[in-house]
Amino acid sequence: MEDAYGRSVSEVLDFFGVDSTKGLADFQVSQHARLYGKNVLPEEERTPFWKLVFKQFDDLLVKILIAAALVSFVLALINGETGLTAFLEPSVILLILAANAAVGVITETNAEKALEELRAYQADIATVLRNGCFSILPATELVPGDIVEVSVGSKIPADMRMIEMLTGQLRVDQAILTGESSSVEKDLESTIATNAVYQDKTNILFSGTVVVAGRARAVVIGVGANTAMGSIRDSMLRTDDEATPLKKKLDEFGTFLAKVIAGICVLVWIVNIGHFHDPAHGGILRGAIHYFKIAVALAVAAIPEGLPAVVTTCLALGTKRMARLNAIVRSLPSVETLGCTTVICSDKTGTLTTNMMSVSKICVFHSVQNGPEVAEFGVSGTTYAPEGFIFDSTGVQLEFPAQLPCLLHIAMCSALCNESLLQYNPDKGNYEKIGESTEVALRVLAEKVGLPGFDSMPSALNMLSNHERASYCNHYWENQFKKVSVLEFSRDRKMMSVLCNHKHMEIMFCKGAPESIISRCTNILCNSDGSTIPMNATLRAELDSRLNSFAGKETLRCLALALKIMPMGQQTLSIDDEKDLTFIGLVGMLDPPREEVRNAMISCMTAGIRVIVVTGDNKSTAESVCRKIGAFDHLVDFIGHSYTAAEFEELPGMQQTVALQRMALLSRVEPSHKRMLVEALQNQNEVVAMTGDGVNDAPALKKADIGIAMGSGTAVAKSASDMVLADDNFATIVAAVAEGRAIYNNTKQFIRYMISSNIGEVVCIFVAAVLGIPDTLAPVQLLWVNLVTDGLPATAIGFNKQDSDVMKAKPRKVSEAVVTGWLFFRYLVIGAYVGLATVAGFIWWFIYSETGPKLPYSELMNFDTCPTRETAYPCSIFEDRHPSTVSMTVLVVVEMFNALNNLSENQSLLVIPPWSNLWLVASIIITMFLHMLILYIPPLATLFSVTPLSWNEWTVILYLSFPVIIIDEVLKFFSRNSHGIRFNFRFRRFEALPRKELRDK
Q: Which of 753-768 are b and which e, b meaning 16 or more Cβ less than 10 Å from the residue's Cβ?
A: bbbbbbbbbbbbbbbb
What burial class does residue 285 get, using C-beta atoms within 10 Å of its C-beta: 0-12 exposed, 13-18 middle, 19+ buried? exposed
- Judged by DSSP in three states, 150 sits in strand
Quote the Cα angle for 237-238-244, to 5°: 80
Q: By C-alpha distance, which of 507, 500, 502 is closest to 485?
A: 500
Catalytic residues: 347
Strands (E), 214-329: 215-222, 327-329
Q: Which of 783-811 are b and which e, b meaning 16 or more Cβ less than 10 Å from the residue's Cβ?
A: bbbbbbbbbbbbbbbbbbebbeebbeeeb
Helix H or strand E segment including 673: helix 671-682
Cα–Cα distance measured from residue 263 to residue 985, given in angstroms and rounded to the nearest whole number: 26
Cα–Cα distance measured from residue 58 to residue 56, given in angstroms and rounded to the nearest whole number: 6
Is residue 593 within 8 A of residue 353, CB to CB? The reply is: yes
Give me the DSSP letters along 466-530. Answer: HHHHTTHHHHHHHHHSEEEEEE---TTT-EEEEEEE-SS-EEEEEEE-HHHHHHTEEEEEBTTT-
| 126 φ, ψ (degrees, to nearest 5) | -145, 145
Helix axes 730-771, 597-606, angle to 10 degrees: 40
Q: Give residue 845's region: left, alpha or beta (phi > 0; psi -120 to 50).
A: alpha
Is residue 680 within 8 A of residue 656, CB to CB? The reply is: yes
Is residue 339 within 8 A of residue 747, CB to CB? The reply is: no
CA-CA-CA-CA dihedral for 488, 131, 206, 427, to nearest 10: 90
Helix H or strand E segment including 513: none
Is residue 186 within 8 A of residue 2, CB to CB? The reply is: no
Beta bridge partners of 367: 373
Is residue 502 within 8 A of residue 481, CB to CB? The reply is: yes
Is residue 338 within 8 A of residue 246, CB to CB? The reply is: no
Residues near 798 by Cβ (< 8 Å), separated by ≥ 6?
310, 313, 314, 317, 318, 746, 750
CA-based radius of gyration for the chain: 37
| 381 φ, ψ (degrees, to nearest 5) | 95, 130
Question: DSSP character for 6?
Answer: G
Cα–Cα distance measured from residue 912 to residue 804, given in angstroms and rounded to the nearest whole number: 9
Kind of pairing, strands 204-205 and 159-165? antiparallel
What burial class does residue 225 get, using C-beta atoms within 10 Å of its C-beta: 0-12 exposed, 13-18 middle, 19+ buried? middle
Is residue 39 within 8 A of residue 158, CB to CB? The reply is: yes
Cα–Cα distance measured from residue 960 to residue 848, given in angstroms and rounded to the nearest whole number: 14
Cα–Cα distance measured from residue 104 to residue 219, given in angstroms and rounded to the nearest whole number: 46
Q: By C-alpha distance, which of 296, 152, 144 is closest to 219?
A: 144
Cα–Cα distance measured from residue 926 to residue 932, given in angstroms and rounded to the nearest whole number: 10
Question: DSSP character for 481?
Answer: S
Question: What is the CB neighbour count within 10 angstroms for residue 349?
Answer: 17
Cα–Cα distance measured from residue 271 to residue 784, given in angstroms and rounded to the nearest whole number: 25
